[in-house]
Chains A and B, each alone.
Chain A
Amino acid sequence: MEITREIIQVAAYIGAGISVSIASVTSGVGVGYIAGEASYAMMKQPKAGDLIFRNMFIGQAVTETGGIFSLVISLLLLFGGFDVAAGGLYRFAAMLAAGIAIGFGSIGPVLGSGYTGGQACKSIGRMPKHGNAIMGNMLIGQALAQTSSIFSLVVALLLLYSTPLQPRDASLGHIVAKSVSLLGAGLSIGLGTLGPGVGIGNVAGRASDMIGRFPDQRPSIMRTMFLGAAVSESTAIYALVISFLLLFAI
């Protein structure tokens, strides 16, 4: 089949749509959860209103990171000048896969850091005196949860910028296998970061909550949080390894 410029553009439009639509759904849920918990905490503890409000804003900004990554990739897909027919089927698959990677990849990190931010707001409402300790823990936890969205961003950018052009004399079998393996790389990192993101968000959220309740135990709570988050992150790293193998070793 002749791959024309229009067919490549179809892939770019579908990829951009997948990426930004999924990311906007999850960003809405995550950011909204933080605002909801913050409102409830303000009702309970109106005197700590400023502190809770500040924490809510910072938490929402970090949570939004996954959505911004998706927006960047979809703008690149639309206006980055990738729609050249010379790329062939490789380019078609890579553009679709970039949208899938960052779109699905934003679900877990955004939901996870949203949960962390919400629990931190609740915890500050209960214990305004320890607001700084809780906010520090929240930021560390959200950063850990967002790591996996950075994995997705790396794979999406690699798909856009370092996919080889389709060779002229390649056999049909080779072309189809390589294109499908690019799609597989996007699916692997996109779905693979979902679990770790949600899991690490859960760890960091529980840790923020408990630092508010038992401030004396902060060192041991944070140690357990780091340990648990590191183990939980391992599956995202497996997914990254499989993506890299599918991108470069096929």
Chain B
Amino acid sequence: MEFIARAAALLGAGICMGIGALGPGVGEGFVAGKACEGIARSPENASLITRTMLVGQAVSESTGIYSLVIALLLIFST
């Protein structure tokens, strides 16, 4: 019956990456939207705002990368 575990791992990989990509996508989009707003309102701080945006997005991206790692582990090491 060990193929049930293998099948569950493969389905789990799909669900993991699918739902895991939801948060980072929305969050990074929100950051970038607010950054556009900030740069429009105070263009002299453009470089500071862009830097903050990229740092925030990098932190937000980390959960997406965790999902990717778990999905790859589920596919290749079960």
The chain A residues found within 8 Å of chain B, CB to CB, are 104, 108, 112, 171-174, 176-177, 179-181, 183-203, 205-207, 209-211, 213-214, 217, 220-221, 224-225, 227-229, 231-232, 234-236, 238-239, 241-243, 245-246, 249-250
Contact = CB atoms under 8 A, between A and B. Distances in A.
B14 A246 contact: yes
Closest 3 pairs (CB-CB, A-B): A199-B29, A228-B32, A195-B25
A26 to B, nearest CB: 15
A228 B33 contact: yes
27 contacts: A112-B29, A173-B2, A177-B6, A177-B10, A180-B10, A184-B12, A188-B13, A188-B15, A193-B21, A194-B21, A195-B22, A195-B24, A200-B29, A201-B29, A202-B26, A202-B33, A210-B39, A210-B40, A224-B35, A224-B50, A227-B54, A229-B32, A232-B57, A234-B64, A238-B65, A238-B67, A242-B72
Contact of B32 (A188, A231, A238): A231
Contacts of B41: 210, 214
A249 B49 CA distance: 42
Interface string B38-54: 01110100100110011
A235 B39 CA distance: 25
Given A221-B39, A239-B18, A228 B28 contact: yes
Interface string B1-24: 011101110111111011111111
Contacts of B49: 224
Given A207-B33, A217-B40, A239-B18, A196 B25 contact: yes
B43 A186 contact: no
Interface size class of B (residues with CB under 8 A): 35 or more
Contacts of A172: 3
B29 A232 contact: yes
A246 B13 contact: yes
B18 A192 contact: yes
Given A184-B13, A184-B15, A246-B10, A235 B34 contact: no
Contacts of A203: 29, 32-33, 36
Looking at B15, B28, B50, B64, which has the most chain A CB atoms within 10 Å of its CB? B28
B14 A231 contact: no
Given A180-B11, A214-B40, A238 B21 contact: yes
